[in-house]
Structure 1
Amino acid sequence: MTDPAPFWRAKTLDAMTRAEWESLCDGCGRCCLHKLRDEETDRLAYTNVACRLLDGETCRCKDYANRRKWVPDCVKLTPKRLEKIDWLPPTCAYRLVAEGQDLPWWHPLVSGRAETVHEAGISVRGRTVAERDAGDFEDHVVSWPGKWPAKARTPPVVTNRRRPG
């Protein structure tokens, strides 16, 4: 007998429960980096400037439940809004599932461990500048949030070495 497909393969984003929807977030923090959009070309540029509520170590919001109180333009992601958003990184689970792709090996729902998102180089841990220290955001344009890190593409080889007893 085969195991049932995980919810992200079996359900549409609209059909997910709130808990399932929230669990899709891998905790990378990439969506919490400021982005710049050129008014003339509509071109998007990522920065390494973190939202003031982003915890640089955990890569999670410091006050998720009340984030819009502190950051009024924080986007509450919904399946409907997802259709119009073009700034989610290519590694984002919401984007991947919406595009009909599976979750990668490092996603906590697949690996069973929150740390794999950091181990795979997906998270923003150790790579951000605080808003208050950034100065001109244009000076902090980076490309990595819009790319897949090489080590995130292939799962690491796991060996179980036992000593003869």
Structure 2
Amino acid sequence: MNMGDAPGWAGAGLGLAAFVVSLRSVKHGKRAANAAEGSATAAQQSVVETRRSSDAAEHSATAAEEALADQRRGAAERRRQEQEANRPRAEFRIEHRNKAVWELINCGTASAENVRCLDAPGARNEWPAGLSIAAGDVYPFMMAGSMQEPIPSVLRVVWEGQDEPVLLRVPPRIG
């Protein structure tokens, strides 16, 4: 090649420029590949985090549902207890009227059917079978003690709906 060959020198310069551009393209291609690889890694981490977040949200929703169910059960139990507490009930007490006469008083809000005394109160007159005492009513009965068998200090009473004996304190005799 001759120094005066201008097209040759121009071709060599263009070849050199193409070589430099090619080197830069390779460099930028590597950067782009590295960036794409980093982007893919970030996308994978994002998927993992999204799954974790989804699992956490699912666990949170399950816990919230369980808490709500517990609250509903608690509220239902409280309503049931309130209804039970407000339900009309027979409530008895014993008072001494005079001498051997005592009174069984229903001071509750409901009548009691088939009231029975499990202790024989002096055996003077038995309580009738099927004894019913309305709310606020009084049933007089006799009970007298002796040297061998004193008046009991407690009578055990049952009625329909109250199978467990209720202990009624017998107050001391007046006069």
Classify the TM-score, shorter chain: under 0.3
- Higher helix share goes to which structure? 2
The structure in which a higher percent of residues are strand is: 2
Computing the radius of gyration over CA atoms, which structure comes out larger, 1 or 2? 2
Greater length-normalized contact order (CA 8 Å, ≥ 6 residues apart)? 1
